[in-house]
Amino acid sequence: MSTLENKVALVTGAGTGIGRASALAFARAGAQVVVSDIDPDGGKATVEAILDEGGEACFQQADVTDPGQVEALVAHAIRTYGGLHCAHNNAGVLGPSAKLVDVADAEWATVLSVNLTAVFLCMKHEIAAMLGGGGGAIVNTASFSGLVAVPFASPYVASKHGVVGLTKAAAVEYGRKGIRINAVCPGATRTQMNIERAESSPEMAKAMTDITPMRRLAEPSEIADSVVWLCSDAASFVNGHALPVDGGAVAQ
């Protein structure tokens, strides 16, 4: 993997799971990392893990559904490290497990706000910063559910399909400006949210492993490595791509 020495990376939803693994992977590749999460305890723990490995990182709390806090987050990255070269827009929620007609209006609004509108807000300010700094690379966390239908998860599926579309539109708009924008589409991954879901339902645990031909969950580090690769010079001609990292789930 190409080095990210002297690069500044911003990761949202970095307090746990894929976001934490991504922040650690960026730091291991040599980047200075701005760790962001709505949960200060989780975010600060990620920073400590990076520092313990000899990396460089800082924490900035942010609710990425709030335009002002997103603007302040990107400004913090520039003020602290002098620029912004890589971003992983990862913050997200699962939402309800229910048939569409049983989804409350408020549940729909929350999922779309966190999973899709927040990605738009982050990209808006990240792209502006990168335009002023000579370019960069952005990866948005979508999902294999952004490529295929998954029953009983209509808000989540809609939001992740939206992330894929938003990624492609932005990639076409800004590729000629030196900004590459891609999406990573994880399959079922061993995050705290999925562990809790599996523990609450043996049927859900079986479904999460049965959905992939590899018959296991992904490790967060496997998703993170793909994110860092997409931000590196090793992926210098990859733009507007929605990369499944799902053990073959969508290939079936």
153 DSSP assignment: B
To 5 degrees, how large is the angle CA 14–CA 18–CA 22? 70
The reply to whether 156 belongs to the active site is yes
Neighbours of 68 (CB within 10 A): 10
Q: Which residues, other chains included, contact 95 with Cβ-Cβ below 8 Å and sequence gap of 6+?
A: 107, 110, 111, 115, 153, 155, 156, 159
Neighbours of 93 (CB within 10 A): 17
- The strands making up 136-141's β-sheet, listed across from edge to edge, are 56-61, 32-37, 8-11, 86-89, 136-141, 179-186, 242-245
The active-site residue, picked from 156, 187, 189, 226, is 156
Residue in 89, 85, 107 with CA at minimum distance from that of residue 98: 107
Catalytic residue IDs: 156
